A and B are shown apart, each in its own frame.
Chain A
Amino acid sequence: MGDKPIWEQIGSSFIQHYYQLFDNDRTQLGAIYIDASCLTWEGQQFQGKAAIVEKLSSLPFQKIQHSITAQDHQPKPDSCIISMVVGQLKADEDPIMGFHQMFLLKNINDAWVCTNDMFRLALHNFG
Chain B
Amino acid sequence: MRRFRRDWAHRRDSGRYQRRREYFDEPETSYSSSRGRPTREEVVTPPLPEQAASGSLMATSVDFKTHVDQACRAAEEFVNIYYETMDKRRRALTRLYLEKATLIWNGNVVTGLEALANFFEMLPSSEFQVNMLDCQPVHEQATQAQTTVLVVTSGIVKFDGNKQHYFNQNFLLTAQSTPNNTVWKIASDCFRFQDWAST
Which of B134, B141, B142, B154 is within 8 Å of A40, CB to CB? B134
A-B contact count (CB 8 A): 133
A38 to B136, CA, bound (A): 7
Known contacts: A80-B142, A82-B172, A116-B150. The answer to whether A42 contacts B190 by CB under 8 A is no
Does B20 make an interface contact (CB < 8 A)?
yes
- Interface contact A118-B150, CB-CB below 8 Å: yes
A40 to B170, CA, bound (A): 14
A118 to B131, CA, bound (A): 16
Chain A contacts for B190, CB-based, 8 A: 72, 74, 82, 84
Binary per-residue interface labels of chain A (86-123) against chain B in the complex, 1 for a CB within 8 Å, 0 otherwise: 10000100110110101010101000000110101111
Which of A38, A42, A94 is within 8 Å of B10, CB to CB? A42
Does A36 make an interface contact (CB < 8 A)?
yes
- Interface contact B138-A43, CB-CB below 8 Å: no
Q: Which of B29-37, B39-47, B113-121, B191-199 contacts A (4 or more CB under 8 A)?
A: B191-199
Which of A82, A106, A122, A125 is within 8 Å of B141, CB to CB? A106
- Interface contact B166-A125, CB-CB below 8 Å: yes
Chain A contacts for B192, CB-based, 8 A: 70, 72, 84, 86
- Interface contact A102-B102, CB-CB below 8 Å: no
Does A47 make an interface contact (CB < 8 A)?
yes
Chain A contacts for B187, CB-based, 8 A: 76-77
- Interface contact B154-A78, CB-CB below 8 Å: no
Which of A44, A77, A97, A108 is within 8 Å of B22, CB to CB? A44
24 contacts between A and B (CB under 8 A): A38-B137, A40-B20, A43-B13, A45-B20, A69-B196, A74-B104, A78-B143, A78-B144, A82-B170, A84-B168, A84-B192, A86-B168, A86-B192, A94-B5, A104-B138, A104-B142, A115-B141, A115-B142, A116-B138, A116-B142, A118-B136, A118-B152, A121-B5, A125-B194
Interchain residue pairs A-B with the least CB separation, the first 6: A45-B23, A36-B139, A100-B168, A115-B142, A94-B4, A72-B104
Chain B residues close to A by CB (< 8 Å): 4-13, 18, 20, 22-23, 64, 68, 102, 104, 107, 131-132, 134-139, 141-144, 146, 150, 152, 154, 166, 168, 170, 172, 187-188, 190, 192, 194-197
